[in-house]
Amino acid sequence: MLIGDIDVHPLADGTFRASPEYFGDHVRAEGHEDLFGSDGFAFLPIGCFLVRTGDRTILVDCGMGPQLRDSGPRRLLIGGQLPLGLRALGVAPSDVTDVVCTHLHSDHTGWLFDRTASPTFGNATIWFGAPEWDHFVLNSDVWMFDHIRAGFRGSSRLRPISEDSTIAPGVSVTMTPGHTPGHLSVIVASGGRRAFLLGDAVICPVQLDEPTWQSIGDFDPALAARVRDRLFRELEDPSTLGAGAHFPELQFGRVLLGRTRRWFA
């Protein structure tokens, strides 16, 4: 899609299979058959977004990588498709000028470094929330692929962010912690329109109707809920759209106001 004169292209690296319990032990599929299939699972994308503006080619999140992570019935992640999507757009890894990691969970950092901890996007600056460093990179007790942690520790192209910042003209980040300590969301703004790239600050639009639905990966569930509400209020603006990394079909949408708020894609 075009936001003013900035191109935003969704890309899927693979599939995220989630059971109702991923969103909380109290969650059931009944009443949400549009999300959960007859087998009781939701099949969601592992999403990334390519933003092209001026001379910058910005990749927001970089998927799971050529990896599989099976956490039992609650969560299964299978990656590997991002290079194909980039190639279809005519983008080589060396063309990427910036990678913005909304957070450092494995399904958002999987292509940053290869098995030898060498950077996949050799010309790119890597932006991420500064609190992620202590939580993920320095803390070996928190799960992270070894080669990704080693890549972070050896990289000279890191730009940790501790406050709302500008990445490029028309592309900025706002701090949205809760899912992880340093989670951030990307705002693309041009021509009087905005698009929020939400990462996992909002896992799925169903959370607008079900505010108690969380993610088993939330670091601070109470803070994550407050941040979700703030973001949903931003998306009440008719000129503002949003999409998260696991939104079904990576569809953009916004919040419509009426007797009750509802999601419109």
- Domain of residue 202, CATH code: 3.60.15.10
> Which residues are CB-neighbours of 146 under 8 A, at least 6 positions away?
none
82-97 pLDDT, tens digit per residue, is: 999 999 999 999 999 9
Query: Which amino acid type is present at position 168?
Result: A
Task: Identify the band that residue 258 occupies on the pLDDT scale cut at 50, 70 and 90.
Answer: confident
Whole-model pTM over 0.95: yes
User: With contact defined as beta carbons under 8 Å apart, do 252 and 265 qualify?
Assistant: yes
Q: How many CB atoms lie within 10 A of CB 49?
A: 22
Query: Which amino acid type is present at position 80?
Result: G
Q: Which domain holds residue 73?
A: 2-264
Give the pLDDT score at 149: 98
Give the pLDDT score at 259: 79
Does residue 136 surpass a pLDDT of 90?
Answer: yes
Tokens linked to 136: 């993920």
Strands (E), the chain: 2-3, 6-18, 42-53, 56-60, 68-70, 75-78, 98-100, 125-129, 158-161, 165-168, 171-175, 184-190, 193-197, 240-243, 254-256, 262-264
d(CA 156, CA 126): 9
Does residue 117 surpass a pLDDT of 90?
Answer: yes
Does residue 260 surpass a pLDDT of 90?
Answer: no
The mean pLDDT value of the chain amounts to 97
Among candidates 92, 91, 69, which has minimal Cα distance to 79? 69
Q: How many CB atoms lie within 10 A of CB 39?
A: 10
Strands 98-100 and 56-60: parallel
Does residue 181 surpass a pLDDT of 90?
Answer: yes
Q: How many domains, the chain?
A: 1
